[in-house]
Amino acid sequence: MNAWLLKPLGARWKTALLTLFVIILVSICSILLFAHILLTQITVFCLVNIAFIRLYLKLNPALNAFTSVTVLFSFFFLIYGIALPMDTLFQNINLIQSDEVIGTFKAYLAANLCFVAGVLVSQFLKVRGKDKLVSDTPIDLLKIQAAAIGLLLIGLTLMVYDQFRLGGFDVIGVENRMNNFVAQRQSTNLAIPWKIMITAGFFGWSISVCSKKQLYLLYFTLISVCLFYFFGLGSRSLILMTILPTFAWLVNQRKIKLTSMRKVILVGIVLAMMSPIFNNVRQSIIENKSMDSPKQSWSFSEGETGTAFEITNDILTTSIYPNADPSYLTAVLYFLPSSIYKFFIDHEKPLNMGDWYVSYFHPYLYQHGGGMGFSPVAQAWMNGEWWGIFGVFIILGFILCSLDRTLHIHYLVLPFAIWFQRSSFHSVMTDFIFILIFYSFIRFVGTLGQVSKKPKYKIQ
């Protein structure tokens, strides 16, 4: 069986689709078993995702695992979904009772199957996403580069301003990470989207690179900013959000060549960032202690990946959600400043779902600036329980598959495929809207006036 799984799933897509259908059918039957049900659930989850990823890449040969937002979401949904159940199965941690883990994992399985169904519907209907910001108009690389670097410099300047506005050196540094969170939560100033400016700026710069010198300068600047994100802010999400779109574009343009060994190393680095290694290194810096942490703190789900499952379990085992507003309509409008939001909606802007969760379930942590994020499965459940999960994840699969057919937008969405695993739709939608705005600006500048005689390209 294992050897068979490593082979391509058939020469034709119909054969591969039939194979996936059989696996799903067997999986559904397996869930009904009472013996070793958690192990069965984990096995089913892994088989479905592995088969789906292989099928999807076979049907879309122009994509690869590093440039497809659908594949990236499916892979990390698998990692975030099985981390805590695996640790529970091997008794590494005992945060949640086994029967509750099994019940919550059913929601993840249902969400996963609905996501696959949505992708396959989009694939079958050949729904071609169209990058509305791209036309046949020639674009000027020099103007694109000037706009991108200009936006990047503005973003970096606003980042420095924002940090000093929050408290200066008292909030900068890994050891001051919690001070930074407290200052952000207590601040009444308008939030500045400098993170998205920097991401869009780097991506625009990468699509306009014309020489090796420019490429090396891009690498140096990108690495320098990411080093500040780690040592200055202690944030892995900012590192991934900044690097991923630029990296994926350069891979697609063959400016970065990935051998099989490099792919393995790259996946290992990303998983290490998600693992307790990152957390324990960061915590040792904050507390100025050695990394002789308890055994439980080295469980994989104690890193980045276990919290979303824990949040989902809390939501599924709770019947009321006082003062929460999980509506997706609210999420779409959440990017608006509070005063404008109140003008249109006629009530105060609610807490982000991540902030609401930690304030309701972990008030002490909330008071001291801490946060835990949120979960897409939990938010779907709050919008209709099982029907909410079915509808939301079918639509999500449909949309991500369509985005994979855009020219540039799917590169910008890649970080959200990871970040969404532990975030609310409110946060993801806000940053997605801003990154589209800044990318539109860069594209617009690139099409202004006459195209210069300098190197240029035309979007096909």
Each residue's pLDDT tens digit, 251-279: 888 888 888 888 888 888 887 777 777 66
Higher-confidence residue of 32 and 140: namely: 140
**351 or 181: which carries more pLDDT confidence?**
351
Q: What is the distance between the alpha carbons of residues 116 and 105, in angstroms, rounded to a whole number?
A: 17
d(CA 330, CA 333): 5
More confident residue, 308 or 187: 308
pLDDT at 9: 41
- Mean pLDDT lowest among 246-255, 287-296, 359-368: 287-296
Q: What is the average pLDDT across 236-261?
A: 87
Give the pLDDT mean for 382-395.
Answer: 94
* Alpha carbon distance 352, 331 (integer Å): 9
State the pLDDT at residue 29.
61
- The single-letter code of the amino acid at 169 is F
pLDDT score, position 133:
37
Phi and psi at 39, nearest 5°, equal: -60, -40
Res. 1 pLDDT band, cuts 50 70 90? very low
pLDDT at 30 over 60: no
Helix, strand or coil, per DSSP, at residue 389: helix
- Model-level pTM greater than 0.85? no
Higher-pLDDT residue of 192, 26:
192
Report how far residue 111's alpha carbon sits from residue 121's, in angstroms, rounded to the nearest whole number: 15
At 107, the pLDDT band (50, 70, 90 cuts) reads very high
Mean pLDDT of the chain: 81
Residue type, 332: V
Q: What is the mean pLDDT of residues 11-37?
A: 62
Q: Looking at residue 460, what is its pLDDT?
A: 31
Report residue 108's pLDDT band, with 50, 70 and 90 as the boundaries.
very high
pLDDT in tens, 154-173: 999 999 998 888 887 777 87
Contact yes or no for 153/265 (Cβ under 8 A): no
pLDDT beyond 50 at 131: no
At residue 183, the pLDDT reads 75
pLDDT of residue 179: 77
244 to 210, 405, 430: CA distances (angstroms): 20, 18, 19
Highest mean predicted confidence (pLDDT) among 114-128, 240-254, 339-353: 240-254
pLDDT-derived band at 71 (thresholds 50, 70, 90) equals very high
Instruction: Give the pLDDT confidence score for residue 282 in this predicted structure.
Output: 65
Per residue in 109-126, pLDDT (tens digit) is 999 999 999 999 988 886
- Helix (H) or strand (E) holding 456, with range, is strand 456-457
Looking up tokens 């059913």, which residue turns up?
Answer: 106
| Residue 295 banded pLDDT, cuts 50, 70, 90 | low
Question: Which pLDDT value is given to residue 340?
Answer: 84
- Highest averaged pLDDT of the listed ranges 15-29, 249-263, 303-317, 375-389: 375-389
pLDDT, mean of residues 70-83: 92
pLDDT at position 192 is 83
What pLDDT shows up at residue 135? 46
Contact at 8 Å (CB) between 453 and 210?
no
Question: Which among 242, 216, 245, 215 has a CA at the least distance from the CA of 228?
Answer: 242
Q: Which of 43, 49, 42, 51 is nearest to 18 (CA)?
A: 51
Q: What is the pLDDT of residues 197-232, one digit of tens each?
A: 999 999 999 998 888 899 999 999 999 999 998 888
Q: Which residues pair with 456 in a beta bridge?
A: 140
The total number of residues shown for the chain amounts to 460
Interatomic CA distance for residues 118 and 404, integer angstroms = 14
pLDDT at 330 over 60: yes
Is the separation of the CB atoms in 42 and 85 below 8 Å?
yes
CA distance linking residue 69 with residue 418, whole number of Å: 9
Tell me the C-alpha distance between 437 and 133, whole Å. Answer: 10
33 CB neighbour count, 10 Å cutoff: 11
pLDDT at 339 over 90: no
pLDDT at position 2: 42
CA-closest candidate to residue 72, choices 405, 426, 416, 423:
416
Task: Please give the average per-residue pLDDT across 287-301, as a whole number.
Answer: 59
Please report, rounded to a whole number, the percentage of residues in the chain having pLDDT higher than 90.
27
Q: 320: exposed, middle or buried (C-beta count within 10 Å: 0-12, 13-18, 19+)?
A: exposed
Question: What stretch of H or E contains 98?
Answer: helix 98-125
pLDDT top residue among 299 and 396: 396
Listed in sequence order, the residues at least 6 apart from 301 whose beta carbon sits closer than 8 Å to its beta carbon are 83, 84, 86, 87, 92, 93, 309
